[in-house]
Chain A
Amino acid sequence: MTFIIENLDKKYDHLEVFKDFNIEITERKITCILGPSGCGKTTFLNIISGVIKSDTGFFSGFDSKLISYLFQEPRLLDWKTVWENIEFVLKDHYSKKEINKIICKYIDMVGLKGFEEYYPSKLSGGMMQRVSIARAFAYPSDILIMDEPFKGLDLKIKRLLMNAFVKLWTEDSRSVIFVTHDIEEALLLGDEIYVFSEAPVRIKKHFKMNRSKQERKLEDEQIEYMKKEIYKVLQFVI
């Protein structure tokens, strides 16, 4: 099954962000979206997640689907502990017993065992983002939306978070829409890569990755080739 968006229109005052835009997103795959900054990537995610409404557009496959969202910032509740922050999004979906099991599992998977009772103010930025990753995966979503969640983190923490993400995704391979600036990030994690143009958005390039994520290396010829191609498109766009 695929998620289909057709004839999407969205205008801010006089700026046409989307005009007659079409895209297909494959289920249970990681779809990466690259594009120049300010082109409308976040608007695209906000439309899918229902935060903002499109002017027109046909959406297929999204009905009553649960969505979890990894934001650029962790967006945790300061007055709730790590445990309670994850519990907060699960309460309406599971029983108390199930919640305990799920939270334990995901806290362990993101490597935060022992920090359950910590308040966000006592955690580092990377740790907070790990809590928000655990929250996104613990939530029974059909689609996971990611808006540059690794942006601005130092390389070591970024690697750590990317590993945590791959580990979690491999387990239940849910549908992921992943917006990023980082071409290498997209080449390593994505199953499909879309390169957006500036507004009004068009799809400039569409790649399908053949190799499994574990086998992919940045030095591979095919990856190198794709990287150059994407650079070319983005440079042209910018």
Chain B
Amino acid sequence: MKIFTIIKSKFPTILSILILITIWKIISEIIDSEIIVPSPEETFKSLILILKSKAFFKTVMATVIRGWIGFLLSCILGLIVGMLAGINCFLEKMIQPLLVVIKATPVMSIILIALIWFKTDIVPIFVSFLVAFPIICLNVMEGIKSVDVKIIQMAKIYRVKKYRIIIEIYIPAIMSFLVAGFSTAMGIGWKAVIAAEVLSQPKYAIGKSLQMAKSYIEIGDVFAWTVVAIFLSFIFEKTIRIIEKKIVRWR
């Protein structure tokens, strides 16, 4: 019974994926060239081969770790800068133009500049950091502003200590905005990391593997690595949703 309900609730998702694969299959049949659009079966075969290869785990982990380091750095710095700017009007006005500039800079420009400045391993980390930072920073600022002045007034009248006002009012108020920021920043950051890897070519990297597959005209592999990247992004998104449910359970 329980399984039946799960299948029923997931049915639209499953149907959507099936339709997508069918369209892909039809297109590959019409074009009829494995070099331009490999069929889903061919991609699946390539995927199995990639999964079986020795370097697979190392490659994936290297990319994930790079992405996470950049993401973590942007979280820490975004939280600190965002909180300060949220509280201080002067700082907010100072930081705004910087955030606008970073947000408006094409990811490709950031990657190319980073290529000149840093070692190959650092480039994806730097790019993921720079892409995620303004998103998290702006979300934290918005979170701070969402705190009702009346609530702070209440806490002050009841003489609640300052550090407790920060921990028990500001941080929880930021949390829901922060988690929303995480989700967006993670999605964009993940794509940017792989793009950076394509150009910077670190030893182990999903981006590099994509580039290699393209160079050897193994389009099945390009599609298979793309599937891997999508799947990982999906897992990150799910993890964030679980964290969100735990943090904002009061809603």
In the complex, the answer to whether A51 meets B153 with C-beta atoms within 8 Å is yes
User: Which residues of the other chain, B, contact A71 by a CB distance below 8 angstroms?
Assistant: 150, 154
Q: Dominant SS at the A interface?
A: loop
Roughly how many angstroms separate A22 CA and B173 CA in the complex, as a whole number?
A: 41
Q: Which residues of A contact B251 (CB under 8 A)?
A: 78, 121
Interface hits, A79-124 → B, CB 8 Å? 79-81, 88-89, 91-92, 119-121
Residue A68 contacts which of B153, B158, B164, B168 (CB distance < 8 angstroms)?
Answer: B158
The B contact surface, by secondary structure, is helix
Q: How far is the CA of A121 from the CA of B175 in the complex (A)?
A: 17
B158/A79 in contact, CB under 8 A: no
> B172 contacts A75, CB within 8 Å?
no
Counting chain B residues whose Cβ lies within 8 A of the other chain, the interface size class is 20 to 34
Q: What A residues does B250 contact at CB under 8 A? A: 78-81, 119-121
Nearest CB in chain B to that of A74: its residue: B154
Q: A77-B168, A78-B250 are in contact. Are A92 and B153 (CB under 8 A)?
A: no
Tell me, rounded to whole Å, the shortest Cβ–Cβ distance linking A141 to chain B.
8
- Which residue of chain A has the shortest Cβ distance to B148 in the bound complex? A75
Decide: A75 near B161, CB < 8 A? Known: A51-B156, A88-B168.
Answer: no
Q: Give the Cβ gap from B186 to chain A, nearest Cβ, in Å.
A: 23
The yes or no answer to A148 lying at the interface (CB within 8 A) is no
Q: Which residues does chain A contribute within 8 Å of B173, judged by CB atoms? A: 79
**4 closest cross-chain pairs (CB), A and B:** A89-B158, A79-B172, A119-B250, A75-B154
> Which chain B residues have a beta carbon within 8 Å of chain A's beta carbons?
148, 150-151, 153-161, 164, 168-169, 172-173, 175, 248, 250-251
Q: A51-B153, A80-B250, A139-B158 are in contact. List 16 more A-B contacts (CB 8 A).
A: A66-B159, A69-B157, A71-B150, A75-B148, A75-B151, A75-B154, A77-B169, A79-B173, A79-B175, A81-B250, A88-B160, A88-B168, A89-B155, A91-B160, A92-B161, A119-B250
